[in-house]
Amino acid sequence: MQTWDLQLPIYQQLADLLAAGLLDGDPAEGEPMPSVRSLAGQYLLNPLTVNRALQALGDEGLLETRRGLGMYVRPGARQRLRDLERDRFLNDEWPRLRQRLRRLGLGPRDLNWEDVQ
């Protein structure tokens, strides 16, 4: 069962969760997203919240609405999302992480990129 952070809007957290799936190729480009009703049931959320999360992904150019069919993953969405996430990481997260690593006295030799679990 998904737990939600009360500091962020739930629709944004769901959009981030769905975006992570898109980065992993689920669903693939050109394929339909699960329905609002399906996602609402899966995450125990109000359908309006789910709709807002899907709309946020659509606003970022990742999904397209096909009238009468639902939301589909746009061609190129995965690369677009990867580019957006890389930019967000490098501009927002990395400076804070780098500062924390310096405070802790950690350098490149202390970090093992290959031993990821």
Residue 104 vs residues 80, 93, 99, 110: alpha-carbon distances, Å: 34, 17, 9, 11
Strand partners for 65: 71
Over residues 57-97, the pLDDT tens digits come to 999 999 999 999 999 999 999 999 999 999 999 999 999 99
**CATH of segment(s) 1-105:** 1.10.10.10
Residues 71 and 85: their CA atoms lie apart, in Å, by: 21
111 pLDDT band (50/70/90 cuts)?
Answer: confident
C-alpha–C-alpha distance, residues 20 and 47, integer Å: 20
Amino acid symbol at 68:
G
SS3 state of residue 114: coil
pLDDT of 52: 98
